[in-house]
Chains A and B, each alone.
Chain A
Amino acid sequence: MADPVLELKDVCKSFGALKASDHVSLDLRAGEIHALIGPNGAGKSTLIAQIAGSLAPDSGSIHFDGQDVTHLGPSARARLGLARSFQISAVVPGFTVAQNILLAVQARAGRSYTMWSKADDMASDQVARWADMVGLSDRLGAAASDIAHGERRRLEIAMALAMRPKAFVLDEPMAGMGTEGVSAMTSLLDPLRLQAPILLVEHDMQAVFALADRVSVLVYGRIIATGTVAQIRRDPLVRQAYLGDEA
């Protein structure tokens, strides 16, 4: 079997006495959606921050695309092909939808230090393509601060796509969405795994069970189980710690 795209080995991170990540080992393989679930305060956000590079682990290693990235910052990891979305939408509020996508397109093309040509001219077909993939074609001219919550989430996905990443790390892409929004986002994410594997942090269990090839359960900073959806739903430890009656 091929090497995993993203691999965490024995990652530890403590804040004082609190062990936010306790010997976390986790991998993301080509073609899969790997969901990371766990109760509030389990350390999911801390783990995502370490994967993205905005927080350095105390010990352990993180490999991405065959390279040790443990000590690289977030922009270097993004350049290697790690695309992430945030729990709270992070788009450039004063830009239009098109300009947000353009930012990612030109970064990917290595043109962000070009000063003499016009930004809009260079990639409108690419911008249109990524917007079309997430269903924002008719919102290109709208200000990112004015569009609906669900649209902003899709814009983030479009920006991640425009980076042509080797892996996606999506932090609660369904958060704050209604049932309809969740099902739309589910059908948007489903085929994405063919472009690059997805590490999906999500609270919505319907979505997780519909999408995930594998699920890891994080409780008190430790992975207590990893397996297929069916295995996780049966796991007594998981039922007790997290799922309760929902499974």
Chain B
Amino acid sequence: MIAEKHLNWLISAVLLAVPVAAWLAGEVYTVTLATRVAVLALAGVGLNLALGSGGLVSLGHAAFFGAGGYAMGILASHAQSYQPLMEWPFLIEGTKSMPVIWLVAIASGAISALAIGVLSLRTSGVYFIMITLAFGQMFYYFAISWPAYGGEDGLSIYVRNGFPGLDTLQPIQFFALCYALLIVALVLCARINASPFGLALNAVRQSAQRVETVGLSPLRLRLTAFVLSGAITALAGALFADLNRFVSPTMFSWQTSGEIMVFVILGGVGRLYGPVIGAAVFIMLEHWLGGVSEYWQLFLGVLLLGVVLFARGGLIGVFARRRVGHG
């Protein structure tokens, strides 16, 4: 057993060291795998804010992941075809600039989460799961039936978007960007969890009635967390699209929502680094076992079952104790 803080440092260091070593050894594919881990972990970090801290079991986070992906896809496709998004009443052109794309992705994730949250946070339990799932599927079918942006076939972006001062086509440089954003999101979540808002949100998860009694609105607290959560997951979506240089409706599918939730549950619900270790294990299993058998998810299922049954704190919980109380 080691302190959770030290375990977190260790995970951060390994996730940085492995791709750097692989890059020095010329193993580009490993760098790409590590980038996938960082990006999917970021999506999980977003979900963990709603699921772990707020207790909101959302099976619709693919909606935000996809919203971020399509924000990137739409802006970049207009930039590569030199067609403005709109000319009237004012001109909006496409862009290949990552910072701009990230901001648009974050905004579209936040707005989608606000709309979905307002409508679904009045329910709880299994109804909340079903409503978020339904919204996710709505986005999915909308993307399929929208021919302007590829419909079912999706959108290909031929050149990766740019970041000032970096060559993003260099795998290690793109990894550095994704890793930096993941760390920023983790620091942000750590601060939020330790803040007055984090305390109130944690209290809502345990006893909404108690929170109401001190004069706070559980709905407003949950909605705030849900919007932040959606924004972070959308940023991950934009990075995922850039990693693959491809966007498709699959990003919106309920399987995607399920995978993001698997990262969180596998690593440890409500544990800061849960989604990081969860995404890492998922990608490693997919890579190694996927080469052995196309039924590799059977092993994932067994692992997940073991974690759910025997390790309530997920993989993080197996290695690190949790302190009493909040934070």
A residues in contact (CB < 8 Å) with B: 52, 54, 73-76, 78-79, 83-84, 86, 90-96, 99, 102-104, 106-108, 111-120, 122, 141, 143, 159, 162-163
From known contacts A75-B217, A95-B325, infer whether A106 and B210 are also in contact, taking CB-CB under 8 Å.
no
Q: Which residue of A lies closest to B210 (CB)?
A: A90
B residues in contact (CB < 8 Å) with A: 191-192, 194-200, 202-203, 206-207, 209-218, 221, 224, 324-327
CB-based contact B196/A79 at 8 Å: no
Chain A hits for B199, CB < 8 A: 99, 102-103, 106, 112, 119
From known contacts A91-B210, A99-B325, A103-B203, infer whether A117 and B196 are also in contact, taking CB-CB under 8 Å.
yes
- Closest A-B pairs by Cβ, 8 of them: A78-B215, A79-B215, A96-B325, A107-B214, A112-B200, A119-B199, A104-B214, A106-B196
CB-based contact B214/A159 at 8 Å: yes
Chain B hits for A141, CB < 8 A: 324
Nearest-Cβ distance from residue A91 to partner chain B, whole angstroms? 6
Interface secondary structure of B, over-half rule = helix
CB-based contact B215/A90 at 8 Å: no
Q: How many A-B residue pairs have CB under 8 A?
A: 110
CA gap between A163 and B192 in the complex, in Å: 23
CB-based contact A90/B213 at 8 Å: yes
CB-based contact B195/A114 at 8 Å: yes
In-complex Cβ contact of A108 among B191, B213, B215, B326 (8 A): B215
CB-defined A-B contacts under 8 Å, sample of 12? A78-B212, A90-B213, A95-B325, A95-B326, A106-B200, A113-B197, A114-B195, A114-B196, A115-B198, A117-B196, A119-B199, A163-B214
**Which of A54, A91, A103, A108 counts the most chain B CB atoms within 10 A?**
A103
CA gap between A46 and B170 in the complex, in Å: 67
CB-based contact B325/A90 at 8 Å: no
Chain B hits for A122, CB < 8 A: 196
Chain A hits for B202, CB < 8 A: 92, 94-95
Chain B hits for A115, CB < 8 A: 191-192, 195-198
CA gap between A78 and B206 in the complex, in Å: 19
